[in-house]
Structure 1
């Protein structure tokens, strides 16, 4: 799990396969394309990119995507020709071995793919065992997996998260299983620690000056349990917290009121204009963003993103501290602003997203009961993270206890991984010794 993550198609990988947006080919505005589609309610998200060398609008409304060609205004139909074109763009010079339509499988369980279902699962003719998943709504590749990933994840994430498809499909049932199994394991481990401590004698030792009464596997279990058991308890407890038991504590999400106060209102389709040209080359995808009541283009390249003027396509100047702090105040009206400081490499509660290469942020803190804090990106005018007392506590109880993400390991990945591996070996020793002892007792 440290070295082979669960299969997903991240933003950087997806953008790298797209062609640069060609504004000269666009004949329909987003507003007109949406009207032709016959939909009445405005979409929640609108993206513009090139698909099979044609400009395409992708609209998200409710729980489904709808795509429309920006050059003809016609609705995009995901047929065999379109799928083959998508595969060629994503994996040039690789043939298709098989293709079939699925709702979900072991690797496409994520709820983030729900708006794209059903999915076309494409098996490629390559030596990596590559399988691609194509959206039946947008025709885009939304997930890629390779044999190496799938194999290691059966031994890692699937077992660790009890991520078996029939169970994971029932999200609430899966959550309850994780919550109660980890809770029971926590109690059992705590009982084992308590018994282990009781059996230790420092002053009145056992025969032969031993501090433990046990021998053989029982001795290994006793001592390794006293050491590694501490971390087994913290791992089980923090893992239990990861499924938000009883809605106790969790990470913070911004409210709709905060979002509207920051942006200055929702973006209407009529405001989604395009300039005649873009000052920057290699723009792979465009969205529309609103900040302080003004609409701009949020333009993505393969490895970064920029804010562009909607009238001429030029890059927008970086927002200064005064502007960002003023808009942050609008999210907390009447609350005293304690501080506003620049962070070049985040802090313990915010770390830059490597997919977007945003490093410098303005941290603005308020004196409300929750000690609300916002992290603001000067390049894009976005709130990249926010925290309150609950989310900060969750950060320490989960990230620190479960992932060993605490000083001084936070910026020393090699040491962090070495400690996790050493503690995992200790956990294996405790478990194996316990199984051996249990098997011996059952056998007799």
Structure 2
């Protein structure tokens, strides 16, 4: 059975529907991806492994794993539904994945006997982490001498260097650590608190109707002649009642052509807004034109989390008066629906995007200021964690009697 949400792939020459992707087709896709000599080896199919846990890949499973045999030891994951490359991972990326996402998201627990409980385990540990930060912060504040010092001359009472580091770092980075743990919990959408019962967009209002395919419209040669010389792909679409062709270059916005005449297409004033008003079964309250990124519509560098997605400017923001306070973003150049934000998703943007990733425009627009700040805060969190582990391990050893306990010391006053 075709995975839910998976696209239907049709051969443009024969009209045959692609029903399965076999190993030869996966190797052909890998060869096209390599764009040069490669010694690709098909390593079989899989449902999920350490590098393919993302739920965005569900529609492509099972995945073909192909090793290119290049200098970077690149592994490709090829969709079992469409035959396209959906993930590439060099040796360096795979190694850093183990040090990063694999540990961060507790992926060692995925795919085994406890896989079904993975989300519950992450949520429970997050709640325990929040409780630890709050209680530890309260104790740390109470033990800190804001006026005067202890007999040691310090404001912290702990004689151990590790304990002092933990105390001071905890006070300095307590709020940030709490924000990270809490926002990490929010990223899991615990108990589906960010889900709404909003009905799906009525996309037929924008993209419904018959396409003007090549055999009934302008020939491909005419479209390529009208398109820029660096065009890499022609994409037939149906938008707001028009059969269009998008000529996509290697980078930058596409050129929009009429599918029948091959002439550049221009939208009539208000035409897109009128069609988009039917996307939601509610009154369209206003249309805003965004010419710069803002708190809800912004971009991040391709190498960062949630980065690399196409966020063109200018963009239209359609604000609807439905119970979910829906916003729809629309590309005024192509007419493409870029996404929907309801009240729940806008709340998630603050509780996760801001608190966890510091998605704040003054920082995102001033790289590497964002990088420096995040690295510095991460170092602070590392000091808290590492010192806490050392202190905890020492306490466990004492409780288990694994060494002779040190002579008791009189408390400092």
TM-score scaled by length of structure 2:
0.80
SS at match of 1:70: coil
Q: Distance in 1 between matches of 2:7 and 2:282?
A: 39
1:356-398 CA deviation, whole Å, 9 max, x = no partner?
4622112333455544333221111123233333322221111
Which one of the candidate residues 248, 264, 275 is aligned to 1:300?
248
SS at match of 1:413: coil
1:239-272 CA deviation, whole Å, 9 max, x = no partner?
000111122236x8973354344x1x73457989
1:345 is matched with which residue?
Answer: 292
Offset, 1:202? 2.1
Q: Is 288-297 or 102-111 further displaced after alignment?
A: 288-297
Which one of the candidate residues 132, 146, 150 is aligned to 1:206?
150
SS at match of 2:256: strand
Structure 1 stretches lacking a partner, 5+ long: 1-38, 40-59
Number of matched pairs: 381
Offset, 1:172? 5.3
2:43 is matched with which residue?
Answer: 100
1:10-65 CA deviation, whole Å, 9 max, x = no partner?
xxxxxxxxxxxxxxxxxxxxxxxxxxxxx9xxxxxxxxxxxxxxxxxxxx884655
1:185 is matched with which residue?
Answer: 129
Alignment of 1:229 onto 2:174: yes
1:157 is matched with which residue?
Answer: 101
1:312 is matched with which residue?
Answer: 261
Ranked by relative contact order (alpha carbons within 8 Å, sequence separation 6 or more), the top structure is 1
1:403-423 CA deviation, whole Å, 9 max, x = no partner?
111252131121111111111
Offset, 1:115? 3.4
| 1:325–1:124 CA distance, 2 compared to 1 (3 A) | closer
RMSD over equivalenced CA pairs, Å: 3.3
Q: Is 91-100 or 414-423 further displaced after alignment?
A: 91-100
Q: Distance in 1 between matches of 2:189 and 2:380?
A: 27
Offset, 1:191? 1.1
* Equivalent residue runs for 1:322-341 within 5 Å: 322-331=270-279, 335=283, 337=285, 339-341=286-288
Q: Distance in 1 between matches of 2:289 and 2:8?
A: 40
Q: Distance in 1 between matches of 2:201 and 2:35?
A: 45
Q: Distance in 2 between matches of 1:64 and 1:389?
A: 27
Could you tell me whether the CA contact under 8 Å between 1:341 and 1:363 is conserved in 2?
Answer: yes
SS at match of 1:308: strand
| 1:83–1:410 CA distance, 2 compared to 1 (3 A) | closer
Could you tell me whether the CA contact under 8 Å between 1:94 and 1:124 is conserved in 2?
Answer: no
Q: Distance in 1 between matches of 2:219 and 2:165?
A: 73
1:86 is matched with which residue?
Answer: 29
Offset, 1:354? 5.2
Could you tell me whether the CA contact under 8 Å between 1:307 and 1:316 is conserved in 2?
Answer: yes
Offset, 1:188? 1.3
Offset, 1:428? 1.0
After the TM superposition, which parts of structure 1 deviate over 6 Å for at least 4 consecutive aligned residues? 168-171, 269-272
Q: Distance in 2 between matches of 1:75 and 1:366?
A: 38
Q: Distance in 2 between matches of 1:96 and 1:211?
A: 64
Q: Is 309-318 or 352-361 further displaced after alignment?
A: 352-361
Offset, 1:105? 2.2
Structure 2 stretches lacking a partner, 5+ long: 300-306, 399-413
Q: Distance in 2 between matches of 1:369 and 1:282?
A: 45
Which one of the candidate residues 66, 72, 81 is aligned to 1:128?
72
SS at match of 1:255: coil
Could you tell me whether the CA contact under 8 Å between 1:283 and 1:299 is conserved in 2?
Answer: yes
Could you tell me whether the CA contact under 8 Å between 2:294 and 2:361 is conserved in 1?
Answer: no
Alignment of 1:382 onto 2:336: yes
Q: Distance in 1 between matches of 2:212 and 2:108?
A: 45
1:404 is matched with which residue?
Answer: 358
Could you tell me whether the CA contact under 8 Å between 2:211 and 2:237 is conserved in 1?
Answer: no
SS at match of 1:71: coil
Could you tell me whether the CA contact under 8 Å between 2:272 and 2:335 is conserved in 1?
Answer: yes
TM-score scaled by length of structure 1:
0.75
Offset, 1:154? 0.7
Could you tell me whether the CA contact under 8 Å between 2:43 and 2:67 is conserved in 1?
Answer: no
SS at match of 2:65: strand
Could you tell me whether the CA contact under 8 Å between 2:201 and 2:280 is conserved in 1?
Answer: no
Could you tell me whether the CA contact under 8 Å between 1:168 and 1:174 is conserved in 2?
Answer: no
Q: Is 373-382 or 280-289 further displaced after alignment?
A: 280-289
Which one of the candidate residues 177, 189, 204 is aligned to 1:244?
189
